[in-house]
Amino acid sequence: MHEVWTNAQKNSLTGSGQIVSQRIGEFLDKSENLSEELEVEIEILNETGVDTANLQTRLASYKQYIKAARERKTAADTVYENESATQKDLEVANNNLREALNNVNKANQILKLIFGELKEHGFKEISETETENNNSKTEINNNISTN
């Protein structure tokens, strides 16, 4: 009976972890696309003579956090795909997802600073993307708390 219970727990952890990982992946894909768009916007601003060194530094930090989140997500996915993963392995995978979310949250803090500075220079259309990303973050945070 203990083995049945253990298998049920493993299946539950794996299933919920995969769902959260998928959501994180979708968010990271959007974030990577957004960083490309931001690069273009910053370059346009730079070409008009505005000093964009601070924006470029923030964007580099944003990309690093997104990259770190992607690495943690990939590490978790490797465990979830392993049918012989132990309970301990699944706990490590869930911790990797939590770290991925932590990196996403740090990236979002930087993103808010970038948007704030870009808004000062008239780039208002980007704020729509900010709202969309914040909604994704909230959705992901709500899901991870169930693990």
Q: Report the C-alpha gap between 25 and 100 in whole angstroms.
A: 10
Q: Which amino acid is at 132?
A: E
Please, what sign has the CA dihedral across residues 7, 8, 13, 17?
Answer: positive
Q: Which long-range contacts (CB under 8 A, 24 or more apart) does 40-49 make?
A: 41/118, 41/123, 41/126, 42/118, 45/118, 45/121, 45/123
Does 3 have pLDDT greater than 60?
yes
pLDDT digits (tens, 9 = 90+) for 105-131: 999 999 999 999 999 888 765 444 444
pLDDT digits (tens, 9 = 90+) for 16-40: 889 999 999 999 999 999 999 999 9
What does pTM read for this prediction? Answer: 0.78
Domains assigned to the chain: 2-144 (1.20.140)
pLDDT of residue 26: 95
pLDDT of residue 143: 40
Report how far Cα 68 is from the mean position of its chain's Cα atoms.
9
